[in-house]
Amino acid sequence: MIYVKTGRLARTLAAWAALTAACLSGTAQAQPAPQRLQAIALNAGMHAIRAEVAITPEQRQMGLMYRRDLAPHEGMLFVFEAPSPQCFWMKNTPTPLTIAFLADDGTIVNLADMKPFDESSHCSAKPVRFVLEMNQGWFAKRGIQAGAKISGAPFQGGTR
């Protein structure tokens, strides 16, 4: 038979419960790691872009969520199967972004600035297959507007 004074047992159980709760709450609040995808080279005139490519529905859904370290020349290119209206939001995304909705030939249809963690929708002005996210202000700092072209392998050959 084990004998433990009631006060000591209560303190031990309370400490164990507090430690367990702290461990569980830390696990529950841990944020997922940002995804890192294969990248391709794109250009906006003389400006080089290193764009990770999100092709699958899962990759597109995760996008740049949780990403805090997007370099100035880096972005993410979202590729869809067919042109359709595309809408994006910033759920779980701490980095301010500018989104460019792109026609099949790489022409920028429209641009939108997006605020961190904002769940407002930002949509394409017409159906598109490609969407490029860059650090907020990247396009503006380079004088790149709607009507400009992004070049690279995905846009060679025009419409698909």
* DSSP bridge partners of 27: none
Q: For 48-78, how does the pLDDT look when each residue is reduced to its tens digit (9 = 90+)?
A: 999 999 999 999 999 999 999 899 999 999 9
Report in angstroms the alpha-carbon separations of 40 from 7, 67, 106.
65, 18, 14
Domain assignment present for residue 121? The answer is yes
CATH number at residue 74: 2.60.120.1140
Cα 7 to Cα 17: distance, rounded to the nearest angstrom? 15
Domain assignment present for residue 53? The answer is yes
pLDDT at 21 over 50: no
Q: For 94-153, how does the pLDDT look when each residue is reduced to its tens digit (9 = 90+)?
A: 999 999 999 999 999 999 999 999 999 999 999 999 999 999 999 999 999 999 999 999
Enter the pTM of the model.
0.80
For 132, half-sphere exposure in the C-beta direction (CA atoms, 13 angstrom radius) is 32
- Domain extent at residue 66: 39-152
Residues 80 and 1 in one domain: no
- Structural domain count, the chain: 2
For 90, half-sphere exposure in the C-beta direction (CA atoms, 13 angstrom radius) is 22
